Amino acid sequence: MKRLPESARILVTRPRHQAGSLCRLIEERGWIAVPFPALEIKGVPLLEAQQVELAHLEQYDWVFFISTNAVNFALLANNGKIEKPAGVRFAAIGRSTAKALHEAGLDVDLLPEKDFTSESLLSAAPLQNLQGTSCLIVCGRGGRELLAATLRARGATVDCLEVYCREKPVADPAPVKRLLAEGHLQACIVTSGEALQNLLEMLGNEASRRLRDVPLVVISDRLKGLAAAEGFKIIAVSEPADEVVVETLTELLGACP
């Protein structure tokens, strides 16, 4: 495996409030993290009925948290605490989401063994027959419909509680464009399809053309497919945890010519 130059620059597109740990780990390797948030996460004000729903989870058999943002903004909307009534099972879509629940003092009853996607979660044995059960999905506005649709198809009644929304940030792309034009960007990390689309729009046609030649780290096979369809040539899939992302990045760049 070749040694990367200490000046290697890594574009980090995570939302600003979630990028700190990843940037720190990148810089601990002796590289330069280039934060350029391609997604902004904001809380959604809840209606009174939704606040009651969040405060009284005993009406559900399952509560699904689809991201760390779902956990954190649900906590924020409920005065910093979520009660887990007896008999209610909590499911997390990935390890980071499970960690956020554990840090809030909440046990996780179901977590995918790998992949950490809706598809992987839905493959779990306890979710195959849900006839007569009631489910709540704590999520962001405008997310995928697969989880809710599949749970309903398996016999569950499903409510969705949107506690945050995603927006395209307003940012100056000139520094990133300059790095791309000069060939000084060694890799890019993207963690959602929406961030990928925002990134390409924010950079414009010429810079996006150059970006497609930069090695890319993503966090799911689905996102790899989206990136490949957009013309990215070198793509590696990592688990979402920051430490694993950096290890995947190291392996990817070490293998690049």
Asked if residue 165 lies in contact with residue 227, where contact means CB atoms within 8 angstroms, the answer is no
The verdict on residue 1 lying in a domain is: no
Identify whether 2 is part of a domain.
Answer: no
In order of 37, 105, 190, 214, 219, the CA distances from 193 in angstroms are 13, 31, 8, 17, 10
**Measured in Å, how far apart are the chain's first and last C-alpha atoms?**
10
Per-residue model confidence as pLDDT tens digits over 37-73: 999 999 988 888 888 888 889 999 999 999 999 999 9
Domain for residue 4, yes or no? no
Please indicate, yes or no, whether residues 116 and 194 belong to a single structural domain of this protein.
Answer: no
The CATH number assigned to the domain holding 112 equals: 3.40.50.10090
Query: Is 123 domain-assigned?
Result: yes
- Whether 56 and 35 share a structural domain: no
Distances (CA, A) of 176 to 10, 68, 152, 196: 11, 28, 44, 15
pLDDT of amino acid 255? 65
pLDDT of 137 > 50? The answer is yes
3 belongs to a structural domain: no
In the prediction, which pLDDT does 5 show? 52
Is the domain of 107 the same as that of 191?
Answer: no
- What is the distance between the alpha carbons of residues 227 and 221, in angstroms, rounded to a whole number? 10
Name the domain count of the chain.
Answer: 2
Q: What is the pLDDT of residues 222-234, one digit of tens each?
A: 899 999 999 999 9
pLDDT of residue 1: 40
Residue 221 sits in the same domain as residue 239: yes
Average pLDDT rounded to a whole number, residues 184-213: 96
Residue 62 lies inside a defined structural domain of this protein: yes
Are 26 and 128 in the same domain? Answer: no
Which domain-ending residue is among 134, 166, 198?
166
> What pLDDT does 143 receive?
73
Same domain, 131 and 245: no
pLDDT at 94: 86
pLDDT of residue 2: 45
Q: For the segment 6-26, what is each residue's pLDDT rounded down to a tens digit?
A: 578 999 999 998 899 999 999
Look up the domain containing 98 and give its range.
42-166
The residue-averaged pLDDT of 111-133 equals: 89
Residues 161 and 70 in one domain: yes
Cβ(18)–Cβ(35) below 8 Å? no
Residues 148 and 88 grouped into a single domain:
yes
Residue 73 lies in a domain: yes
The predicted model gives 171-194 an average pLDDT of: 95
